[in-house]
A and B are shown apart, each in its own frame.
Chain A
Amino acid sequence: MQRITPLQVYMLFVQFLYATTLGFYVRYLAGEAGFSAVYSVVLGSMIGMILVYLSYRLAVRRPTRFLGEYGREIVGKWVHLPLILLMVFSFVFAAAFVLRELEELIAAFYLKDTPFWAIAALMGICIARAVRSGAETIFRGAQGLFIFGVISSLSIPLWVSRETNGAMAAAFFTHFLPSGLWNSTLLITTLFGEMTMLVFLFPYFSEGRRTMRMLGWATVTSVFITLSGLISILMLFGPDMTANLTVPMLEMIRYARFGSFFQNLDPLLLVFWLYSMFIKISLFMFAAVIGLTHAFGMKDYRPLSTLMTASMVILTLCMVKSGVELDALLKGGALAFLLLTELIPALYLVVDWIRSARTA
């Protein structure tokens, strides 16, 4: 316990935040907000950080204990159990959602004609192994490829800079879609608010009180990386075309002219990106496993790790009938579900404040 350094926290959460935002949600952002999407990233990250701060305030009150254990002292056993189970389900759901998006991408571009279950099983084995190894391994893993991941994400916009249409830049200041801006801000708030899971991991952090500062820096860094990718994509394809591309980021990677030697560099760049997503899914699953373990009064998370990961992988196969439904699900309830579950730590904090004010 308490072996994860603030630097590791920073490095993991940078990847945690930008990997899926740039990977899968640029299409949604461009479709909803057009050029205003840039502002929604900044606004959404700020609101998301408020949720994370509330979660941090709760965690820092009992820095050596897990929410699954002390939660029942705050709200009572019969309220605590359903709330924790709802959070656990939301983590499993979020992990399954990202994994399904990833499977759709790999099946469409790289592993054509490979059965879907085989791709899911391959990825599932990697994630199960990471989750069973524990939080320290996941955080150390994130540290391993951090520099390569960040450099590759930042270098792609530089490579396509010659192809971008500079005249479009004016639209960032002249085109505003208030309704779209609000909707995409909600999405970014949900994505950045996913860091509220830190309340389940807090006892693993060696310098708990520096965690919030590190998460702040992680947010700033990932907003910078996301914006550099998003602005390049919008200036390259325009919002209408971006909204209709399957994976705009991948299209941009393919668009970049690396010269004859680096002609087929896109799989190499994709590896770093995939790695970040694996880290994100593993962390979701670890939080789910540790939450469930403590909610049922157990100490060792290992026995549930493979069972829960296997369940998540099977869930990806039957959560929607086709990949198209994922978009509909995002617009039809998934955002509200994830956002409400991210507010649960804030609910614990408010109840804890009221109870401690009464007893004082």
Chain B
Amino acid sequence: MMAIAVLFVCLIYREWRYLKRCNRNPRTIRRVMGIALFLFLSLELLYGFREQWTISRLIETIFGPVQQLITAKK
């Protein structure tokens, strides 16, 4: 979890510097930082609870019944 945090801090700093250097407007910088923060928090949650819950469980819950419906039984 710490590794993800360190990685994201480095990447966010790099992108923030890139956006400043290119003189992007504050709205773009806010949006990029917002998306970065959302990705970071979601990944920390996913990684933290990986033994109890995985993203594949979500897909199986929502789309599993649809797949049952469209696949043929042997």
A340 at the B interface (CB under 8 A): yes
Interface string of B1-42 (1 = CB under 8 A from A): 001100110011011001100101000100110011001001
CA distance in complex: A193, B1 (Å): 36
Partner of B67, one of A314, A325, A333: A333
CA distance in complex: A340, B63 (Å): 9
Instruction: Name the distance in Å between B70's Cβ and chain A's nearest Cβ.
Output: 6
Cβ–Cβ < 8 Å partners of A320 in chain B: 54, 56
Partner of B55, one of A117, A180, A315: A315
In the complex, are the beta carbons of B63 and A337 less than 8 A apart? yes
> Which parts of B30-68 form the interface with A (CB within 8 Å)?
31-32, 35-36, 39, 42-43, 46-47, 50-51, 54-56, 59-64, 66-67
In the complex, are the beta carbons of B35 and A296 less than 8 A apart? yes
Cβ–Cβ < 8 Å partners of A319 in chain B: 54-56
Interface string of A171-189 (1 = CB under 8 A from B): 0000001111011001000
Q: A179-B72, A336-B63 are in contact. Are A300 and B54 (CB under 8 A)?
A: no
Cβ–Cβ < 8 Å partners of B50 in chain A: 318, 321
Q: A318-B54, A319-B55, A321-B54 are in contact. Are A292 and B35 (CB under 8 A)?
A: yes
In the complex, are the beta carbons of B14 and A340 less than 8 A apart? no
CA distance in complex: A347, B2 (Å): 42
Which of A16-24, A50-58, A135-143, A304-312 has 4 or more CB atoms under 8 Å from chain B?
A304-312
Partner of A334, one of B32, B47, B63: B63
- Secondary structure of the B side of the interface? helix
Cβ–Cβ < 8 Å partners of A117 in chain B: 3
In the complex, are the beta carbons of A310 and B31 less than 8 A apart? no
CA distance in complex: A339, B51 (Å): 28
In the complex, are the beta carbons of B39 and A311 less than 8 A apart? yes
- Secondary structure of the A side of the interface? helix
In the complex, are the beta carbons of B73 and A318 less than 8 A apart? no
Partner of B72, one of A183, A310, A329: A183
Q: A308-B39, A314-B43, A340-B66 are in contact. Are A300 and B59 (CB under 8 A)?
A: no
In the complex, are the beta carbons of A333 and B62 less than 8 A apart? yes
CA distance in complex: A300, B31 (Å): 12
Interface string of A248-262 (1 = CB under 8 A from B): 000000000000000
Cβ–Cβ < 8 Å partners of B35 in chain A: 292, 296, 304, 307
Cβ–Cβ < 8 Å partners of A297 in chain B: 31
Cβ–Cβ < 8 Å partners of A183 in chain B: 71-72
CA distance in complex: A325, B56 (Å): 9
Interface core residue of B28, B31, B67, B73 (most chain A CB under 10 Å): B67
Known: A297-B31, A298-B31, A300-B28. 6 other contacts (CB 8 A): A93-B59, A303-B15, A303-B28, A304-B35, A334-B59, A337-B63
- Which B residues fall within an 8 A CB radius of A? 3-4, 7-8, 11-12, 14-15, 18-19, 22, 24, 28, 31-32, 35-36, 39, 42-43, 46-47, 50-51, 54-56, 59-64, 66-67, 70-74
A to B CB contacts below 8 Å, 19 in the list: A179-B72, A298-B28, A303-B18, A303-B28, A308-B39, A310-B7, A314-B43, A314-B46, A315-B46, A315-B55, A318-B50, A320-B54, A325-B56, A332-B60, A333-B60, A333-B63, A333-B67, A336-B66, A337-B62
